[in-house]
Structure 1
């Protein structure tokens, strides 16, 4: 009887010791794998999505400013209907194309989004040239406030685009280089390389100039 109890106790001790070693091994392997960058790809992917959200937010902020801007200009320069219409139409097209985290891997849709936003930037730039002809408009307080907000938004767009480009480059580089390339092959093969912004218009990497003084 005593021998049986001792045998059971030794068995339980061995099992406990084995479990402890297994747990320690799992913890150690997890630590080693984390140190080898096994989590880098999903982390960088989330950073890309977060950076893209900021790009969308700033473009939406610009789109929200345009109706008031157009109405203000219209009050002083109704004869510039063609230019105003071009801005309104460009805004409608830009806001109709949405690229969210679920469609960020669609190169064609991303390119369409870029082109639409670039067209809106061009239409706004032409509108600002027209404004030079109307000194009364340039001194209007509502217009000056909108001008300041638009300048700030264009700067934020440039920063958000820069951050997104950097995030995509970091993500793509991780997939293409060691050891990220190994982890991508073994565990994240469903996560493709991402498209990045490209300068599709002249000086597209620069914020439009909206100074009137």
Structure 2
């Protein structure tokens, strides 16, 4: 009971002090706090006026993929279609890696209607086709990698890229003829160019597959 009386007394004292603290005495001179004669008309620029004063900053981000497998497929996809999954060229080749309907059917994809809008399927198709070309060209890869043929130092990734362009059979002809039997597509891209442009990437993990299937 005594504790409650003490607590009430303390609260009354605090309330009195706080209440009287904001009460001003009559006749207090506030002239020292007057704004008379002060320049209060400030010109604050609007957002539209302020923005041009700032130097435009455009952040740039570069994804370094190096000579990895991802770097290989992205470089090849960019060369084929600028990385556009939804494109069809004048000759009917489709998607990021520019596949023909016949090639897709060969790897088990009978219905290509949704192919352009299925990015996972396109990536699966690229890996499947690359594994098939590696199986077809396995002996030529073993014989030719490290040699200079047709003025180009041969690498496995270069062979696989050239096979994507021209087909494994044409790459075999090029390698076995010492670079004499060449090939160019309708846009003028050649086996020699692909061998050089896509050389030195790490494609070692790709398993040769005689009958690959698109997932």
- Tell me the TM-score range normalised by the shorter chain: under 0.3
Greater relative contact order structure (CA < 8 Å, 6+ sep): 1
TM-score (ref. length: structure 2): 0.27
Higher helix share: 1
